[in-house]
């Protein structure tokens, strides 16, 4: 059964091929008030959890099939909102560095303290919630951008680059008044209250 894609910012996903480790982590985290979902492999997780799901993933670095680092890279490729914490039983500096460069919040070497585990999980969940919120905003904005005509999109791109109405008119071979009309329509369709807000909301995705 697939895990719901509805927002569940307190979900901690434990991905480890060792059933004893999974049960131990679930017991510890459940006592701390977190909802825990177990997976015996990275492949199982990827087939059941939507990329838009927020939460924290605790994943073992060494697993048969897809290992923890490859799994982390796949989550990144899918632009998942999940935060990743790598668990390792081996003091491998190169793997730890690779994991952190890949975006892991932390690398926990066994045995680790309950206090550190819970603190890092809380931090990971907070980051994931922010990422999911930002992703939702970008998605809604992308949908609104689809409502723009080709000419409105051309005007918007030039506005974001800082060009004046007169300059845009010259570039597009239209009148400044027409540029002003297109810009007003863009602001209305995107619910932007000012030029500054229009630029701020669209610049990152144009």
Residues 37 and 132 in one domain: yes
**The pLDDT of residue 13 is above 50:** yes
Give Cβ neighbours of residue 194 (< 8 Å, ≥ 6 apart).
Answer: none
Q: What is the CATH number of the domain that holds 31?
A: 3.40.50.2300
- 176 in the same domain as 117: no
- Domain assignment of residue 179, given as a range: 147-205
78 and 166 assigned to the same domain:
no
Q: What is the mean pLDDT of residues 66-72?
A: 92
Q: How many CB atoms lie within 10 A of CB 56?
A: 27
What per-residue confidence (pLDDT) applies to 91?
64
- Whether a cis peptide bond, with omega within 30° of 0, leads into 12 is no
In a domain, 6, yes or no: no
Helices marked H in 58-206 — which ranges?
Answer: 68-77, 93-101, 114-145, 150-160, 165-172, 176-189, 195-202
Q: What is the pTM of this model?
A: 0.67
User: 73-77, 88-92, 137-141, 168-172: which has the minimum mean pLDDT?
Assistant: 88-92
Distance of CA 62 to the CA centre of its chain: 24
Number of domains in the chain: 2
Q: What is the CATH number of the domain that holds 196?
A: 1.10.10.10
Percent with pLDDT over 90 in the chain: 60
Whether residue 123 is contained in a domain is answered as yes
> How many Cα atoms occupy the beta-carbon half-sphere of 163 within 13 Å?
19
Q: Are 151 and 196 in the same domain?
A: yes
Angle subtended at Cα 41 by Cα 26 and Cα 9, rounded to the nearest 5 degrees: 50
Tally of CB atoms within 10 A around 186: 23
Q: How confident is the model at residue 5 (pLDDT cuts 50, 70, 90)?
A: very low
Q: Please name which of 102, 105, 100, 159 lies closest in space to residue 128, comparing C-alpha atoms.
A: 105
On whether both 182 and 126 belong to a single domain, the answer is no
Q: Which residue, 21, 31, 32, 172, is CA-closest to 110?
A: 21
Better-scored residue on pLDDT, 13 or 100: 13
Q: What pLDDT is recorded for position 3?
A: 44
């Amino acid at each position: 059964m697939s895990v719901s894609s509805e927002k569940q910012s307190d979900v901690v996903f434990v991905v480890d091929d060792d059933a004893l480790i999974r049960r131990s982590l679930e017991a510890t985290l459940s006592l701390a008030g977190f909802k825990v979902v177990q997976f015996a492999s990275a492949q199982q997780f990827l087939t059941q959890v939507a990329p838009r799901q927020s939460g924290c993933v605790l994943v073992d670095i060494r697993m048969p099939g897809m290992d923890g680092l490859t799994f982390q890279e796949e989550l990144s490729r899918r632009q998942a909102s999940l935060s990743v914490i790598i668990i390792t039983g081996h003091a491998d500096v190169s793997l730890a560095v690779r994991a952190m460069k890949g975006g892991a919040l932390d690398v926990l070497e066994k045995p680790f303290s309950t206090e550190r585990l819970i603190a890092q999980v809380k931090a990971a969940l907070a980051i994931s919630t922010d990422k999911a919120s930002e992703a939702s905003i970008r998605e809604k904005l992308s949908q609104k951008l689809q409502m723009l005509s080709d000419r409105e999109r051309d005007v918007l791109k030039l506005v974001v680059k800082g060009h004046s109405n007169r300059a845009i008119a010259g570039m597009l071979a239209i009148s400044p008044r027409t540029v002003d009309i297109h810009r007003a329509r863009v602001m209305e369709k995107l619910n932007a209250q000012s030029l500054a807000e229009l630029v701020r909301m669209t610049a990152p995705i144009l």
